[in-house]
Amino acid sequence: MKKREKSDLEIRAIVQANLLLNKYMIDSPTELDIAGIALMEKCIIKETELTGEAGRIIKSGDHFIISIKEGLEKGQRNFVTVHELGHRIFKETISTYSVCKESDLRENKIFKEALPNQFAAELMMKREWFLDFTNNRDLSFDLIKDTAEVFNTSIMSACIRYAHIGDKPVGFIYVHNEKIRWKAFSSDFPFWSLNSKLNELSYSKDYFRNRTRYEGKREIDIDAWFRNDRNRRDGATLYEEIFYMPRYGGVMVMLTT
């Protein structure tokens, strides 16, 4: 796999996450006690009703109060908590009152959100642990689901982490109510110029039309996702696998070649 250069931001996040792991002598994901670490770092966690937010952090005297949206699935709740802890670690990303929308927890390039995201990814899915678990395994949503379970994180964060450091070319696309919301592609994925709208050729279109579901990978026309990509060539193949997320009104699409 072609190696992606680490940014200064990513290096900072990796260093701080590993300092914290070493501080609490954590050697595997099973030893990671997120609530315990947050408490030791002077953070009080509570679940509360939030609208339009996944989490927030407020400085209160010498402590910080982390509020997490009620009803989140365990993996998502964990990632949001560690993201907010990242704000506490990187004080320059936090104001007296900081709010994080759900969109801030994915491929966000804004400094004050990207740094906590990188920190959360490394703390929960340390590069060494992640590669040991995922390398040389068949890439499918079965692997992604296993990864999310082992690392106690969300499907979304496991997808993004794999796109960043996994050993196989891949593209992940999240579609909500037939609208393409975000993408995460590995640096060696051969196509980049994504269609702006969901195409009829994608099997995911059937889910939004009549809730039809498909299991496993299916070969698909490249036009389904990359109609105008300059890297397309005769004989190239593209495979689509879909993870259905009815609770959120969306699907996660995995593209492989």
pLDDT, position 101: 56
The mean predicted confidence, pLDDT, of the chain is: 91
Span 152-172, mean pLDDT? 97
Q: How far apart are CA 160 and CA 107, in angstroms?
A: 8
Where do the H-state alpha helices sit in 73-154? 74-89, 111-124, 127-134, 141-150
pLDDT, position 126: 98
Please state, in angstroms and as integers, the Cα–Cα distance from residue 193 to each residue in 187, 223, 226, following that order: 13, 11, 6
pLDDT, position 7: 78
Q: What is the DSSP letter of 245?
A: E
pLDDT, position 137: 98
Span 159-169, mean pLDDT? 97
Indicate if the pLDDT at residue 104 is higher than 50: no
Lowest-confidence segment of 22-36, 95-109, 167-181, 232-246 by average pLDDT = 95-109
Span 131-146, mean pLDDT? 98
Residues paired with residue 219 on neighbouring β-strands, in sequence order: 239
pLDDT, position 162: 98
